[in-house]
Amino acid sequence: MRWQGGRRSSNIEDRRGQGFGRPLAVGGGAASLVVALLVLLLGGDPSVVTSRSGSARDVGMGGSGQPVDPRQDEMKDFVSVILADTEDTWPELLRPEGVRYVDPRLVLFTGAVRSACGMQESAVGPFYCPLDQRVYLDLDFFDELERRFGAPGDFARAYVVAHEVGHHVQNLLGISDQVLAARRRASPEEANALSVLQELQADCFAGIWAHHAQQERNVLEKGDVEEGLAAASAIGDDTLQRRTQGYVVPESFTHGSSAQRVEWFRRGMTQGTLAACDTFRAGAPGRRR
């Protein structure tokens, strides 16, 4: 991606090094993150794969004034640029909907973080909390995306950020509240199906961002699209379930299959409109009737 000259966002909160909760286990700090993440996605307790001790590494200083990995400096810069680009994209797209875009804040953390949605460990992966309109990200997740999921590259990482910002867009549009209310009335299977549709829409919204970022700022280079599609595919529920348990249980999906995630990200990237991302209409991929 052509990102080095991009504007940096002022909405980054660097809480790395604050040290809430338990550090990840020895044996590759971030390596245990992916195991716990997969357990969480399958409905388990990620704390069973965390431990009380971490591994030593070269350190720098985080926003909290505590030691952090200095190798993350460039990645922090990258995330700031991508967040700024989403800030430049979404206001014009939401204005015709009568919605004023409010910039989300992006919180960088290590180990664990306190949010308005509760205390969360890195094991949950990147997440968005609608109660405080913040995206939370442990930069170690990008290492896992490349080494464990086989999805390297700047655009793969940008997809992750854009997906979480997509949840913020859903929140501003009132979609998140509607889904939450519907899930409370639904059976467990129906609630999972609604979660899938919400996640696929966030994938599509990430594609919308990519469409306009390329059209207006020419940020993509050869191979970038493939990187984004590879990232969407790598974190599909079916792919994760095969990795962890060797078989697939579609009724337990909460994010969508690899094929569905690729399809909706591609759709947003190709068409670039909110109308293209109505995953909730009858017949949408991932819809259970």
pLDDT per position as a tens digit, 228-270: 777 777 767 766 677 677 866 777 677 888 888 989 999 999 9
- In Å, what is the CA distance from 266 to each residue of 59, 71, 74, 273? 39, 32, 28, 12
Report if residue 178 sits inside a domain.
yes
Q: Which helix (H) or strand (E) holds 234?
A: helix 224-234
Dist CA 175 CA 12 (whole Å): 25
Residue-range definition of the domain harbouring residue 163: 12-20+72-277
Segment 104-147, tens digit of pLDDT: 999 999 999 999 999 999 988 899 999 999 999 999 999 988 88
- Tokens, residue 69: 């990995």
Give residue 30's identity as a one-letter amino acid code: A
Report if residue 96 sits inside a domain.
yes
Report if residue 123 sits inside a domain.
yes
Count of domains observed in the chain: 1
Report if residue 135 sits inside a domain.
yes
Under DSSP, is residue 76 helix (H, G, I), strand (E, B) or coil?
helix
Report if residue 147 sits inside a domain.
yes
Q: Which residue has the higher pLDDT, 288 or 206?
A: 206
What percent of the chain lies above the pLDDT cut of 90?
52
Report if residue 162 sits inside a domain.
yes
- Indicate the DSSP class of residue 103: P
Dist CA 86 CA 164 (whole Å): 11
Report if residue 44 sits inside a domain.
no
Report if residue 255 sits inside a domain.
yes
Overall pTM surpassing 0.75 (yes/no): yes
